[in-house]
């Protein structure tokens, strides 16, 4: 017979049951935690060692491609801009390979021109490609073809604020001076781009080069063309002012303007006058490109309302409207809009010291005769483009 008393006491039925449930619960919890940890490591987010976690936004620790891909979009954009700035300065930062990006002359290189795009930040593959210095050189899908002293430099630098635009800063002059070097040479001048980014260049002399329309069409009939135009009288004076700054001994503006001063005959062989015959120069372009593939930008509005003109350009290029009023401020001294931040720099940037250069005084009678001369050409240009630029008011 079994002994009685405490030594032989039997546990109550509820006691072993509760212990069994508790043990099973602990086992399940441990299994769940272990599975989560294994999954976490398979996703390559756990870091060996006991040091600080690599690539944490705002900690000053360099991020590699894997870490950056897990960051929020805002942090990714900030880091990409830092990487881009360091590459352009030629000073590799922590985690950078030390290879400089393609040189982009121009605005201390202008914002957003070359480098990561909004699509890069939105897509992890684009982010990784940028960090690994991938991408490829493409022939330009859009070209600013003219006109000289119309505002082409300003437009290009403003456009390079857009993260999905990459552009050559210097003028390639391929379709007018270097066509014999071939498309491979031309493509090699271009910066690398990722999918969704646009490659651009600008050479204002293309607009007045007879062979340029056929040559660009032979490269691609889908090329989008941008023409920046300005009051031809003001443009001619600006053109002369630029030449005068380089050759102070040239004849006066008035003597170059007229073939016969007493008869009031304008000398259309002088390039400063000839470039302003926009309707004449546009005709060969329309034989190779439909009007809808060309955008005509007002040089005057590029000064008075840069954001408004850039909105039209972004729509024409199929880009998101990223460039807005917040990117500009007006410099009263120079009389031109400036960028609040330049590419590769957090500082404000105005165009070069030659912008806003004082024009020589021109006699009113000369200006009147020039306006009378250009008026029929201007009106024809308005009809051809469907836009009245208001130069005859």
Taking the C-alpha atoms of residue 299 and residue 256, their distance in angstroms, rounded to an integer, is 24
Please indicate if the annotation marks 9 as binding a ligand: no
Annotated catalytic residue: which of 149, 192, 202, 224?
149
Q: How far apart are CA 160 and CA 157, in angstroms?
A: 5
114, 191 contact by CB (below 8 A):
yes
| 151 assigned binding-site residue | yes
Task: Assign 349 to helix, strand or coil.
Answer: strand
Distance, in Å, from the CA atom of 360 to the CA atom of 301, rounded to the nearest integer, reads: 23
Q: What's the distance, CA 51 to chain centroid? A: 39
- Give the largest Cα separation in the chain, rounded: 145
Residue 349 assigned to a binding site? no
User: In a 10 Å sphere around its CB, with 0-12 CB exposed, 13-18 middle and 19+ buried, how is residue 191 labelled?
Assistant: buried
**Residue 359 assigned ligand-binding role:** yes
Would you say 114 is a known binding-site residue?
no
Host H or E run for residue 41: helix 14-42
Q: Residue 11: which residues within 8 A CB-CB, separation 6 or more?
A: none
Q: Annotation-wise, does 93 bind a ligand? A: no
Pairing of strands 265-266, 328-331: unpaired
**238 known member of a binding site:** yes
Please name the helix (run of DSSP H) or strand (run of DSSP E) that holds residue 193, with its range, or none: strand 192-193
CA distance 132 to 77: 16
Tokens at 179, concatenated? 């066509």
* Residues 35/39/45/48 CA torsion (nearest 10 deg): 50
Residue 79 known to bind ligand: no
Residue 149 among the catalytic residues: yes
What one-character-per-residue DSSP string does 229-249 give? E--HHHHHHHHHHHHHHH-TT
Angle, alpha carbons 321-322-324 (nearest 5°): 90
User: Which strands form 142-146's sheet, in the order they lie side by side?
Assistant: 165-167, 198-202, 142-146, 224-229, 294-298
Asked if residues 342 and 107 have their Cβ atoms less than 8 Å apart, the reply is: yes
- 230 known ligand binder: yes
Q: Please report the sign of the dihedral spanned by the C-alpha atoms of residue 342, residue 352, residue 320, residue 218.
A: negative
Query: Is 304 known as a binding-site position?
Result: no
Q: Is 78 annotated as a binding residue?
A: no
335 marked as part of a ligand binding site: no
Residue ranges of the binding site for 3'-phosphoadenylyl sulfate: 149-153, 230, 238, 355-359
Active site residues: 149
For the annotated binding site, the residues are 149-153, 230, 238, 355-359
């Amino acid at each position: 017979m079994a002994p009685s008393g405490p030594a032989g006491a039997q546990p109550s039925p509820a006691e072993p049951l509760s212990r069994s449930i508790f043990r099973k619960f602990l086992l399940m919890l441990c299994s769940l935690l272990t599975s989560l940890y294994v999954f976490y490591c398979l996703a390559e987010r756990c870091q060996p060692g006991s040091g600080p976690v690599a690539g944490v936004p705002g900690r000053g620790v360099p991020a590699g491609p894997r870490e950056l891909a897990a960051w929020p979009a805002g942090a990714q954009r900030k880091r990409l801009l830092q990487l881009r700035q360091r590459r352009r300065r030629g000073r590799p930062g922590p985690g950078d390979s030390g290879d400089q990006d393609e040189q982009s002359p121009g605005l201390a290189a202008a914002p957003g021109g070359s480098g990561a795009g909004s699509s890069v930040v939105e897509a992890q593959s684009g982010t990784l490609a940028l960090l690994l210095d991938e991408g490829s050189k493409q022939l330009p899908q859009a070209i600013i073809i003219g006109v000289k002293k119309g505002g082409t430099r300003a437009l290009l630098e403003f456009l390079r604020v857009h993260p999905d635009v990459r552009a050559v800063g210097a003028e390639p002059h391929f379709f007018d001076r270097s066509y014999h070097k071939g498309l491979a040479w031309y493509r090699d001048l271009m910066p690398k781009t990722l999918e969704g980014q646009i490659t651009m260049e600008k050479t204002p002399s293309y607009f007045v080069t007879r062979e340029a329309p056929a040559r660009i069409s032979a490269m691609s009939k889908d090329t989008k063309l941008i023409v920046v135009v300005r009051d031809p009288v003001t443009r001619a004076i600006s053109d002369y002012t630029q030449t005068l700054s380089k050759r102070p001994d040239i004849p006066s503006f008035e003597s170059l303007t007229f073939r016969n001063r007493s008869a009031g005959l304008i000398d259309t062989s002088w390039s400063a006058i000839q470039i302003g015959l926009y309707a004449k120069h546009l005709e060969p372009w329309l034989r190779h490109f439909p009007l809808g593939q060309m955008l005509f930008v007002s040089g005057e509005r590029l000064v008075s309302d840069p954001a408004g003109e850039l909105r039209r350009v972004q729509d024409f290029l199929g880009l998101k409207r990223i460039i807005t009023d917040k990117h500009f401020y007006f410099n009263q001294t120079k009389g031109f809009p400036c960028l609040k931040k330049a590419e590769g720099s957090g500082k404000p940037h105005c165009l070069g010291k030659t912008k806003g250069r004082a024009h020589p005084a021109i006699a009113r009678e000369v200006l009147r005769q020039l306006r009378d001369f250009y008026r029929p050409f201007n009106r024809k240009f308005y009809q051809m483009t469907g836009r009245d630029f208001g130069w005859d008011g």
